[in-house]
Chains A and B, each alone.
Chain A
Amino acid sequence: MLIQIINGIMLGSLYGLIALGYSLVLGILRIFNMVHAEVFMGGAVLGWIVMTKCQLPFVLVLPVVLVGGAILGLMTEFFCVRRSIAVGSHFVPIATTIGFGLVLTTIVSNWAGAHPLPISVPFQYTQVHFGSASIPVTNVIVFFTSFLIMGILAYFLKRTELGLSTRAVGENPEVSQLLGINTTRVIQLTFMISSMIGTLSGILFGLMTGAAHPYMGEHVALKGICLVIIGGMGSMPGAVIAGILGGIAEVLTSVYWSVKYADATLWLIMFLILLFRPLGLMGKAEELQRLQ
């Protein structure tokens, strides 16, 4: 039982990271960024390209993945979201980002094949032992890296000037503009950071499971939104906590009941939360007002 909870926490840390990516765009721009799942896949595929296809050393993965994420974020902002924000529509970006996601999936699956693309690291078969049970070392690395990334993001948003500008634009775009903040740039930055988190979580996932494939985004796409709602829209610590709890819930359901219902459990939890505490675990009332 303990080992399964630990498995759940490891998976949950990754889910938390993904939910964070969604939460960033949702909180600042009130947009559901449905391409995040494909960006996630893109990160893993970039990792495959660097490590398996080009046989480059492992350390090169980080810059490639970050740059890839930034580029994808900028593309999303330009092609999918710019005009819709100008017009003020919150529906349309859902469709355009889904379209972009389709484009990315098709390109990857036609170019690399629809089968898993292996990502192997030299240390992948070593294990970390907890008494009688053991966990693959990759999972442990993923866990710590996720928290590192979350910490960096938190620092960025709370302490740096750019981070504060981002939060300001999220609260009130018009007033921020009056105060001299370049809202266009900030929006671009938000998408860039969200996509970078997406690609990073993708490569971490690829490390954890050992392969990337073009349809891996489908599994996490809607789950991410579900977790954001559970955590509370607009609250980033909430997204992280919801992610971890979601991971534990999913693993425990799959082990003690059946995998068929693991996904449905999360949706049921979300359903109950919407019934009894629509704000979510850590949502704030002002956030909700702003969503109107």
Chain B
Amino acid sequence: MIEILTTPLFLDLLGINILLGVSWYIPASCGQFSFGHCGLIGIAAYLSGALTTLFGLPFPIAIFVGIGVSGVTGALFSAIGLKSKDIYAAIMTLALAQIAVVAFKAIPATGGIMGFLVTPKVTPSIVWTGVALCLLFTWRLERSRLGRTFEAIKTSNIVSSTLGLNTTYYKILAFGIGGGMAGLAGVFYAHCISWIEPQTFTIWLTVMSFTFALVGGWETMWGAVAGAMFLTLLLEAFRFANIWRNLIYGLLIMIVLGFRPSGLITRENVRGAGKLFSRIMTFRRKKSGRNSIPTR
């Protein structure tokens, strides 16, 4: 098992899954359910793959283009949906996901249905650097004013708009940021798995993203991280039971979310862990402090 964990491929995959979970978590932290993550991931994957393989552009450019286009697309589609109601933004992203797949199939330059090979390969260190940066970004986001605004909107849309917040703007922003992160995941996906075809970016990918985030706990970012790690490890560990793996996955989702809808890690858990951590830290300091207070 340890051997598998150290394979570059598995490390890449774990990093990408964490990105998927966290990227889904961001619109969710604003109360929005994004169905369209698979489309955003696919757009970034195809675009960056085409740029590096067909046009020979350097990798960093591909990353930025991928993030940018996915972010903008996510924001755009949700904006159209948000004109009316929240739920329609979610449905709009679903439409995006379906239309994206048809678009991928229709472009002959990137192989159409057959898919194509992306030549540059990305090492786990690059992937995990990306993951670390995103986690840092999200952590700062949660604690910032913007993060608190998102939370306010999630708690009550009506009250927030009564208080004068332009809720539509913030929701579009949340989709944009989440979309951008999904784009990063897509770029990494294309350059790790090296083979992308339209069938990969079906709704199942979105299902994976939101199961990571929901099962882990969708109140905090750590929930998405924990959920991604837990479920990816689970899928790997149960590879021997290959025809029953999906059953175990489904059962796990049902059991965890059916009886504990807020997911495994809730805000109280994180706060509790934080308190425990600080208590440990101050305990040591207190001890040494007593000895080092000069007696005069």
Contacts and interface: CB of A to CB of B under 8 A. Distances in A.
Nearest to A278: B84
Contacts of A87: 261-262
B251 A103 contact: yes
B80 A267 contact: no
Given A91-B28, A105-B246, A292-B158, A99 B261 contact: no
A96 B92 CA distance: 22
A103 B249 CA distance: 8
B81 interface: yes
A99 B207 CA distance: 9
Given A103-B254, A274-B81, A92 B99 contact: no
A83 interface: yes
Contacts of B262: 87, 89
Contacts of A275: 80, 83
Given A270-B95, A278-B85, A292-B86, A260 B102 contact: yes
Contact of A79 (B218, B249, B254, B260): B254
Nearest to B156: A292
Contact of A103 (B91, B207, B250, B261): B250
A107 B86 CA distance: 35
A128 interface: no
Nearest to B215: A95
B4 interface: no
B258 A271 contact: no
B83 to A, nearest CB: 7
A52 to B, nearest CB: 23
Contacts, number: 121
Contacts of A96: 253-254, 257-258
A84 interface: yes
A65 to B, nearest CB: 23
A271 B92 contact: yes
A267 B98 CA distance: 7
Most A Cβ at <10 Å: residue of B85, B259, B261, B262? B261
Contact of A106 (B88, B98, B218, B246): B246
A102 B208 CA distance: 12
B254 A80 contact: yes
Interface in B138-175: 157-158
B91 A92 contact: no
Interface in B14-40: 28, 33
A190 to B, nearest CB: 18
Contact of B94 (A106, A222, A264, A288): A222
Interface in B97-135: 98-99, 102, 105-106
B151 to A, nearest CB: 15
Nearest to B98: A267
B258 A274 contact: no
Contact of A91 (B33, B81, B259): B33
A275 B211 CA distance: 29
Nearest to B106: A260
A171 interface: no
B87 A79 contact: no
Contacts of B95: 226, 267, 270-271, 274
A147 to B, nearest CB: 28
Given A222-B98, A271-B95, A84 B253 contact: no
Contacts of A25: none
A84 B211 CA distance: 15
Contacts of A154: none
Nearest to B157: A292
Interface in B203-252: 203, 207, 210-211, 214-215, 218, 243-244, 246-247, 249-252
Interface of A: 79-80, 82-84, 87, 89, 91-92, 94-96, 98-103, 105-107, 110, 222, 225-226, 229, 233, 260-261, 263-264, 267-268, 270-271, 274-275, 278, 288, 291-292
Given A91-B214, A92-B214, 6 more contacts: A87-B261, A102-B253, A107-B247, A222-B203, A229-B88, A292-B157
